[in-house]
Structure 1
Amino acid sequence: MSRLITHLRHVDLAVPDYDKQRAFYSGVWGLTEVAGDTGISFLAAEGSPEQYVIRLRESEEKRLDLVSFGAATPADVDALAGRLGAAGVTLVGEPGPLATPGGGYGFRFFDLDGRTIEVSADVAVRAHRRLEPKESVPVRLSHVVLNSPDIDATRDWYETHLGFALSDTLASPHMGQVMHFMRCNPQHHSMAIARGPHASLHHISFEMRGLDEYMYGTGRLLRAGVRMIWGPGRHLAGDNTFSYFLDPHGNTVEYTTELEELDEDAWHPHVYDFSQPEVTDQWGTANPMNELVAKESFNDVDRGVFVAPPV
């Protein structure tokens, strides 16, 4: 099938302690607040042309509001909406103008697990800049990982309906398959699907300028007392670095850099045995992956499943 999704735009979170989350992301994490209103904040990455990469919304319940992807043209948005509607996918609304920063044209729908997904085109490009050496703030949003009780069914849904392709899989002899890395462009993954006990956010990843900036940022967070659950290290699948932290509401967030770019015509997916330590961390510098580390990213049960966010 033709691929109409081009890239990951932003991830939107609802949080009970809005002020604490806003201070975290616009402070030590290194994003820039570019717009907002009472109980809502839009945060951009300095090196990204996207209007924002994180939206925070004040809510009594913690939830993943939505994941937003880009399309090339409004015609592609319409084509995707028609394709999904014909396949019986529940649309939250028909394609139309967006009222969020940068405007654009898009629509929302529920994925197989009940997450709200948005696809948009013609969003205005934000004025952004090249980060300087040693400037340890995120350049852009790298990828998002989602927990699913049935990763094979969710993988098939994204392949069938949105044209994502499988890049690699993590598995072990004792646990079977635990993560599928999915791409919508030559980047190794814009999204991954992790096996978890319930549908929820696994982690959000932010690209840094380079290895030095990645390490400076990791050190800044450690000095600020932010809890790091895993890292620093370098994965085999995707060949990217990783430092995983917890935000104030227990969502896992990652600093990364140097995520692999693939030759899509020549690429064949691997199945990596993640029980081998060099698979989870090529460098051998991170604390060992174990059940306690894995459970940190199971996150809370998402109360927003099959319930579209109010904004």
Structure 2
Amino acid sequence: MTEPVITHLRHVDLAVPDLARQQEFFTGVWGLTNEHSDTGISFLAAEGSPEQYVVRLREAADKRIDLIAFGAATPADVDTLAHRLLVAGVRLVHEPTALQTPGGGYGFRFFDNEGRTVEISANVAVRRHRKIEVGESVPVRLSHVVVNSADPEGTRAFYERHLGFRLSDTLMHPRMGEMMYFLRINAWHHSLAIARGPHPSLHHASFELRGLDEYLRGTGRLLRAGVEKIWGPGRHLAGNNTFSYFLDPHGNTVEYTTELELVDEDAWHPHLYDFSQPEVSDQWGTANAMNEFVAQKSFNDLDKGLFVAPPV
């Protein structure tokens, strides 16, 4: 397995047909801040995060994941990882170069094994951010991204072998086998998870709230606003984090969460959890049951951006 040079999750970038509607959802209801916008593109920040933006929206005919972006500590680490990938036969979108997105920096892009575009960058300017106050139910940061995969074993192996991700836990089902892998790149239980699905797509993007009270306030605000809830509120066993899953205007699942577990690297041993046991999906027993409806919504549409780099 590759020695990790990736430090953290930066942002997830989505292409959507109706940019105005998607932007209104994320800023007017979800609680992100429109920091940098141009014609056909918006960069949305989380008030508590030093990242220039945690979501980028781009107007396009096809709905897709444009890219998933991770940080590295130094430009030298960026160069090291790009060289490793090139030698291993991974297809680069472009080699390391100065980035033209907000905050600048130095980075490169490549396709993962299923064709998602991934960006690795360093030296991105820190955004002026602030401490989220008690009772303020807006995202502190982007917590994690979960992708659907038609080849979850191969996708897990790709991220472990080439990018240094480590397995935290696995979800399994007695009839269906292993269904989800939780992967970490730092002390957080997972920054990326890979779910077994019918096709590559976004499963969900998750946003950390300040604490339990703020998480519940945010969940309630979305319910009062009439946003369709898929699953929750509850608390998972893997990661020990809370969950409330909602649909954005384009059918992507987005999550409010808090209290994601921090892993002791020296003592941690991955668990194999059977999610046919109700307490695995929801320790509290407050969420609606995980069923075909929840699974179907989480499958999302086939990503139309596989092995096609976004134009920006």
Q: Normalising by structure 1, what TM-score?
A: 1.00
Q: Normalising by structure 2, what TM-score?
A: 0.99
Find the residue that maps to 2:259 and give its secondary structure: coil
Offset, 1:147: 0.5
> Structure 2: how far apart are the matches of 1:60 and 1:155?
30
> Structure 2: how far apart are the matches of 1:150 and 1:199?
9
> Structure 1: how far apart are the matches of 2:37 and 2:80?
31
**Is 1:144 aligned to 2:141, yes or no?**
no
1:9-20 to structure 2, matched below 5 A, reads: 9-20=10-21
Amino acid paired to 2:38: D
**Is 1:196 aligned to 2:166, yes or no?**
no
Residue matched to 1:177: 178
Residue matched to 1:304: 305
Find the residue that maps to 1:64 and give its secondary structure: strand
> Structure 2: how far apart are the matches of 1:42 and 1:98?
15
Find the residue that maps to 1:302 and give its secondary structure: coil
Offset, 1:196: 0.4
Residue matched to 1:70: 71
> Structure 2: how far apart are the matches of 1:304 and 1:246?
20
> Structure 1: how far apart are the matches of 2:97 and 2:151?
32
> Structure 1: how far apart are the matches of 2:214 and 2:121?
31
Residue matched to 2:47: 46
Alignment: residue pair count = 311
Offset, 1:93: 0.3
Indicate the larger mover: 249-258 or 285-294. Answer: 285-294
Residue matched to 2:88: 87
Offset, 1:38: 0.5
> Structure 1: how far apart are the matches of 2:65 and 2:291?
25
Which string of whole-angstrom CA distances, capped at 9 and with x for unpartnered residues, describes residues 31-90 of structure 1? Answer: 000001011000000000000000000001101000000000000000000000000000
Q: Which runs of 5+ in 1 are unaligned?
A: none
Residue matched to 1:240: 241
Offset, 1:227: 0.3
Which string of whole-angstrom CA distances, capped at 9 and with x for unpartnered residues, describes residues 143-179 of structure 1? Answer: 0000001111110110000000000000011110110
> Structure 1: how far apart are the matches of 2:171 and 2:308?
30
Q: Which runs of 4+ in 1 moved over 3 A?
A: none
Amino acid paired to 2:226: G
Find the residue that maps to 1:57 and give its secondary structure: strand
Residue matched to 2:57: 56
Find the residue that maps to 2:26 and give its secondary structure: helix
> Structure 1: how far apart are the matches of 2:292 and 2:275?
12
Offset, 1:255: 0.1
Find the residue that maps to 2:13 and give its secondary structure: strand
Offset, 1:265: 1.4
1:226-305 to structure 2, matched below 5 A, reads: 226-305=227-306
Residue matched to 2:216: 215
1:97-108 to structure 2, matched below 5 A, reads: 97-108=98-109
> Structure 2: how far apart are the matches of 1:149 and 1:38?
35
Root mean square deviation, CA, Å: 0.4
Find the residue that maps to 1:94 and give its secondary structure: strand
Q: Which runs of 5+ in 2 are unaligned?
A: none
